[in-house]
Chain A
Amino acid sequence: MRNEKLDLVTGDFYTQNFQKGARENTLILNMGPQHPSTHGVLRIILELDGEYIVRAEPILGYLHRMHEKMAEVKTLVQYMPNMGRVDYGHPLAWNWAFAGAVERLGGIEVPERAEYLRVISCELNRITSHLLWWGAYILDLGAFTPIMYAFDDRERLLDILQIVTGSRLTYSSFRFGGVCADINDKFKELVNDFIPYMRTRLPMYKGLVTDNIILRKRVEEIGYFSPDMIRRYGATGPVARGSGLAYDVRRAEPYSVYNRFDWKVPVYEKGDAMARYLVRLDEIEQSLNIVEQAMASLPEGKHIVDKAPKYTWKAPKGEAYFAVEGGRGKVGVQVVSDGGKNPYKIKLRAPGFSNLSLFAEASQGTLLADAVAILGSLDLIIPEIDR
């Protein structure tokens, strides 16, 4: 926009383009990149008519770290630590997607015990991811206390995951052909304590937050996504399951040993923010079921194959794709190799990117405060969207 007084063109490329379509009596507002409800550095340009949103445009790129480019200058083994840093919420899903793609490409067999260990650690990590989202979402909506309860439980889980992965946030514990370390007795003890404990906490969450009328008034019938819209934008995970689409990669294209366990895919038909909220809380319960069964039927054996690839290992020429169900949806990794030292190309499919694209359409005509509730219900992790 031209500022007549100063004789200057104000705003950057995105603002200037956005302003071309604006009405005369509306206000253009930048939400972010440092807005507390955007969980990182997501910027949304809004056109407001009073307190109602006329248009919204998410702008990305403030946290771009060139993960895909970095793959081209490292060997496959050296690229593994990057996979712990794409998504700080559920890094083990990315670990798994990458390890799975390389194993498919190189024809590496994974021992059965390693598959079970992967399931256990990945599901525990899914619970931490949902707890983090739960606490932060309620915090966005204006209630401070629940995040303290969520972090109490999350800290316990981080202690457990620390035993098996060695770190507390950016895990890179999967290896091609297994996992980096076997579990010990302390891990078994803590997990077996945690499962019944967490089952007593879930009703408490329901009483404290889910049934609370203030929360219900804020999230019910807000941000409706129709199944058609979900399909158009390619949204997956709890966002799709909250709109009545029972798509879960663990069920739709079973990988690893998931088909040996008895668990349900939670689906809610309503398609509003509350439905997505309930899907995630139900998923915590289902993850506990999976972990319990996996711990009970954990087979003996090795945690990694004998001839696990060294850092100089070259993948054979070809390409492979592997998808897993992450905390936010379908996490996919495509590895292309020309038989050289480094991979030719690695493509990362982030679920948050597709889920965010729903926002522009869904937020039209809603109140600004409701837009925050819609944005939170998508469970966005900005580093994952930007990669």
Chain B
Amino acid sequence: MNPIKKFFQTIADLWSLIVGLQITGKYFCQRQVTVHYPRKEIDPEINKTYRGHIELVASPKDPTKPKCISCLMCVSACPSGCITVVKSKPPKLSPEEEQAIKDAEARGEKVKKPSAPKEPAQWKYDFSLCSLCGTCIEACAVDSIQFSNELYVVGTSRNDFKYDLLARLKSQAEKRGPVAESKPEAETKEA
């Protein structure tokens, strides 16, 4: 390369640095793009479909109880085994009632023993194992599970992420208690 060409090449090379600095200067004067979290939050519109940890869906009749029928489909569908559902036991009978059933059976009558309620006794969920895939939600027979939009979940120990979702549903229903109660009334009036 001849010296004159080399000289102009060097000038062009140095110019590329100035172009870069111009861009940096331009963006330096513009508004900050960082969202300073505790003071500001991002647009809630885009978080509507965010898949946070799972939660139970309240039954339309009683907002403190889930739609869940303890079929355990979600437990067997979960690839990470993070759901534990314990079925309710049938109600305990008093000795007199038991005696009455035995007597009836001895007489050859068909007796209907009181069956266990369908709603679960316990619904435990370990968020630290969950991979948020949605297999349990797709497997649920009565649409009793959904993703919550909880974006800001923090904890200081592993046990903080072991949730009792029945208690969570109950406390949520109590929080917005009056609103949830007034809604069915309004619907019945319209109907």
Contacts and interface: CB of A to CB of B under 8 A. Distances in A.
A149 B28 CA distance: 12
A207 B20 contact: yes
Contacts of A82: 79
A186 B133 contact: no
B33 to A, nearest CB: 5
A80 B135 CA distance: 9
A81 B49 contact: no
B63 interface: no
Contacts of A163: 46, 48-49
Interface in B1-60: 13-14, 16-17, 19-20, 22-24, 27, 33, 42-43, 45-51
Contact of A213 (B13, B24, B132, B147): B13
A81 B133 contact: yes
Contacts of A162: 46-47, 49-50
Given A208-B20, A212-B16, A166 B33 contact: no
Contacts of B13: 213
B139 interface: yes
A214 B43 CA distance: 39
A85 to B, nearest CB: 8
B77 A145 contact: no
B172 interface: no
Nearest to A173: B134
Interface string B56-100: 000000000000000000001111100000000000000000000
Nearest to A156: B33
Given A162-B50, A208-B24, A213-B16, A180 B139 contact: no
B29 to A, nearest CB: 15
Interface residues of A, number: 36
Contacts of B19: 207-208, 211
B128 interface: no
Interface in A173-206: 180-181, 184, 186, 190, 204
A275 B78 CA distance: 45
A311 B50 contact: no
Contact of A211 (B16, B50, B51, B147): B16
Contacts of A310: 138-139
A155 B78 CA distance: 30
A96 interface: no
A166 B17 contact: no
Interface in A103-155: 145, 149, 152, 155
B171 interface: no
A310 B139 CA distance: 7
A253 B14 CA distance: 45
A162 B138 CA distance: 19
Interface stretch (A18-26, A71-79, A227-235): A71-79
Given A80-B135, A207-B23, A311-B76, 20 more contacts: A78-B78, A81-B135, A82-B79, A84-B131, A145-B24, A149-B27, A159-B42, A159-B43, A159-B46, A162-B50, A164-B49, A166-B49, A172-B131, A181-B49, A186-B46, A211-B19, A212-B20, A213-B14, A310-B138, A310-B139
The 6 closest A-B pairs by CB, nearest first: A166-B51, A81-B133, A78-B79, A213-B13, A81-B131, A311-B77
6 contacts: A77-B135, A78-B77, A81-B133, A152-B33, A163-B49, A310-B138
